């Protein structure tokens, strides 16, 4: 490389030949730009000549067998809800609910020498839930248990479980329920005798209140029951931690009297549960338990019953769906299950917004909350994101004609039918969430005839 470069200034020479190069370059550049974005345009024109190989059809005439099944039992412990009262109507029968709980032991505070006992009460707080007639007074009773609440080998307590209690209540209360009150309204059972006994024991340092074992033996637990057959409401109370309490009130006899109290909170949440007695006698569901936990809708005026805590689940089966395989060239694109509540059946019980759908498991999960009529576990259908599949709910408030629940069961059905065989015995179960089943009496009466439950298949034949 030489160190010095000599710059030569070229005079620009105008030339036609050079100008010509510009055109192809511009043209090609334009083509490249255009060609990348206008490959295929969508047309409406030309639709008259297309030769279609596919036909999209709807069929909703597959037979749907509707029935009601009932759970043998439902776990109700640890739900943070205490449900008490009774309710009955001609359709779903009568329900009575009692709630069991015990008290938690703690090292009680020392009671001063100048303390004088005043009173004691169990405090219950509304949780906002209720069914039935809340305009009439409700009467409840509090009983002391004569045996300890024990779960035995099982981790849960069930709606069929009960423990012995003294038939003589230690307290009764009658009140106008205000379950929807915004303030921290309470219902209190006066238990002055029990309170005095406890007060004395605590003051004296009795071993019944200094040792947990002795304490649990001394106060085995309590049950709140419906206090009158006149009750036609079930009220929900908050049974989460520290919300059910026993308060002992006393004062110190000083020159200026000082009010004091001892609070004993509810014990382990797992020991609190609701016992439900349901009685279907006089309804169409009478004898459901003795008939294999299942009643076909044809036996119940073509209706199916669904309710939490009593454990009623609506079941659908598709006995003729297998026939679809008689024809080969089709694909299911969409499958919907459409259920309508019986008209005027949901005036007192607002329809649940969320409804779930369950399939029978291929493996019987012992831990499953819900089971089919044969005792096999059922589990929720899920969508692509593994979230529980819920129904699309439309409420026709004006005419009531278009009130319905629609489940998109496309992925379930296409999966089930992949092997060109459909097991019609298994069926699908429609109901509340598991929480809904263990802590609410939410219910729906489904129509099975006018109109029937529909399985609506959108399928492509080719």
Partner 1 sequence: MGYLRKFAVFLLVFLGIQSVTALAQSTSSPYSMFGLGVLESSSAGPNMAMGGTGIGFMSEKSVNYMNPASYNGIDSLVSFFEVGIFGKYTSFSTKKESQALFNSNLRHVLMGFRVTPWMAASFGFSPYSSIGYKINTISSIEGSNQQYVKTFSGDGGVNQVYLGASVRPVKNLSLGVNAAYLFGNVTHAESSDIYSFYLEDITYISNFDFNFGLNYRFVFDKTRLNVGLIYGSSKKLKTQNVTTIQTVNEVETLRKRSYKYEIPQNIGIGIAYSKNFFSAGIDFERSSWENVQFSNNYIHTRNSNRYSFGLEIPSLGVNRGTTRMKLFRIGGELRESYITIDDTPLNYKALTLGAGIPLNGWLSVVNVALELGQAGSLKNGLLRENFVNLHLDLSFKDWWFVKKRYN
- Minimum CB–partner distance for residue 59 and partner 1 (Å): 6
Cα 222 to Cα 99: distance, rounded to the nearest angstrom: 8
Rule CB under 8 A: choose which of 9, 13, 20, 153 binds partner 1.
20
Residue environment code for 413-436, b if the CB has 16+ CB neighbours within 10 A, otherwise e: beebbeeeebeeebbbbbbbbbeb
- Asked if 187 and 124 touch (Cβ cutoff 8 Å), the reply is yes
Rule CB under 8 A: choose which of 291, 411, 423, 424 binds partner 1.
411
Question: Which residue number, 116 or 325, has a Cβ lying nearer to partner 1?
Answer: 325
- Minimum CB–partner distance for residue 298 and partner 1 (Å): 26
Can residue 34 be called a binding residue for partner 1 (CB under 8 A)? yes
Cα 83 to Cα 177: distance, rounded to the nearest angstrom: 13
Can residue 35 be called a binding residue for partner 1 (CB under 8 A)? yes
The radius of gyration computed from the CA coordinates of the chain, to the nearest angstrom, equals 35
Rule CB under 8 A: choose which of 59, 365, 392, 402 binds partner 1.
59
Stretch binding partner 1 (CB under 8 A), from 31-39, 65-73, 154-162, 305-313: 31-39
- Minimum CB–partner distance for residue 384 and partner 1 (Å): 9
The residues near 217 (Cβ < 8 Å, ≥ 6 apart) are: 148, 208
Rounded to whole angstroms, what are the CA distances from 266 to 14, 214, 232, 300?
102, 17, 27, 43
Can residue 21 be called a binding residue for partner 1 (CB under 8 A)? yes
Query: For the window 126-145, what string marks contact with partner 1 as x by the rule CB under 8 A?
Result: --------------------
- Minimum CB–partner distance for residue 57 and partner 1 (Å): 4
Question: 């069930």: which residue's tokens?
Answer: 158
Q: Which two tokens stand for residue 185?
A: 């309204």
Question: 């026709």: which residue's tokens?
Answer: 396
Instruction: Say how many residues touch partner 1, by CB under 8 A.
Output: 49
Can residue 63 be called a binding residue for partner 1 (CB under 8 A)? no
Rule CB under 8 A: choose which of 8, 9, 17, 135 binds partner 1.
17
Rule CB under 8 A: choose which of 8, 10, 12, 43 binds partner 1.
43
Q: Which two tokens stand for residue 37?
A: 């974005």
Rounded to whole angstroms, what are the CA distances from 401 to 343, 385, 395, 397, 404?
8, 32, 9, 9, 8
Residue ranges binding partner 1 (CB under 8 A): 17, 20-21, 23-25, 27-28, 30-32, 34-35, 38-60, 329, 331-334, 410-411, 414-415, 418, 458, 460, 462
């Amino acid at each position: 490389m030489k160190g010095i470069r000599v710059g030569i200034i070229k005079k620009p020479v105008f030339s036609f030949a050079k100008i010509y190069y510009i055109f192809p370059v511009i043209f090609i550049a334009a083509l490249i730009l255009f060609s990348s974005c206008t490959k295929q345009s969508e047309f409406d024109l030309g639709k008259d000549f297309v030769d279609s190989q596919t036909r999209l059809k709807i069929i909703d005439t597959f037979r749907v067998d509707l029935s009601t099944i009932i759970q043998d039992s439902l776990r109700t412990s640890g739900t943070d809800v205490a449900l008490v009262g009774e309710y009955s109507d001609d359709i779903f029968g009568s329900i009575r609910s009692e709630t069991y709980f015990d008290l938690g032991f703690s090292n009680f505070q020392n009671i001063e020498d100048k303390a004088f006992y005043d009173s004691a009460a169990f405090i219950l707080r509304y949780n906002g839930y209720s069914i039935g007639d809340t305009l009439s007074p409700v009467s409840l009773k509090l009983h002391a248990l004569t045996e300890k609440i024990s779960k035995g080998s099982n981790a849960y307590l069930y709606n069929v479980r009960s423990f012995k209690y003294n038939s003589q209540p230690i307290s009764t209360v009658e009140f106008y329920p205000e379950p929807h009150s915004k303030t921290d309204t309470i219902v209190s059972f006066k238990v002055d005798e029990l309170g005095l006994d406890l007060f004395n024991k605590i003051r004296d340092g009795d071993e019944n209140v200094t040792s947990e074992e002795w304490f649990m033996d001394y106060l085995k637990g309590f049950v709140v029951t419906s206090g009158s057959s006149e009750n036609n409401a079930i009220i929900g109370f908050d049974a989460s931690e520290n919300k059910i309490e026993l308060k002992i009130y006393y004062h110190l006899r000083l020159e200026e009297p000082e009010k004091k109290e001892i609070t004993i909170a509810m014990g382990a949440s797992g020991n609190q549960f609701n016992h439900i007695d349901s009685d279907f006698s006089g309804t169409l569901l009478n004898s459901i338990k003795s008939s294999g936990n299942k009643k076909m809708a044809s036996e119940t005026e073509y209706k199916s019953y669904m309710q939490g805590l009593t454990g009623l689940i609506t079941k659908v089966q598709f006995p003729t769906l297998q026939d679809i395989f008689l024809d080969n060239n089709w694909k299911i694109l969409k499958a919907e299950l459409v259920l309508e509540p019986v008209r005027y059946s949901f005036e007192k019980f607002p329809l649940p917004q969320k409804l779930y759908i369950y399939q029978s498991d291929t493996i019987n999960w012992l831990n499953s909350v819900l089971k089919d009529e044969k005792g096999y576990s059922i589990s929720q259908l899920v969508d692509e994101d593994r979230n529980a599949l819920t129904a699309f709910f439309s409420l026709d408030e004006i005419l009531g004609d278009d009130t319905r629940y629609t489940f998109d069961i496309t992925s379930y059905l296409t999966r089930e039918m992949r092997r060109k065989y459909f097991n019609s015995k298994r069926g699908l179960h429609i109901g509340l969430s598991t929480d809904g089943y263990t802590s609410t009496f939410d219910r729906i009466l489904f129509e099975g005839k006018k109109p029937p439950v529909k399985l609506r298949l959108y399928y492509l034949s080719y």
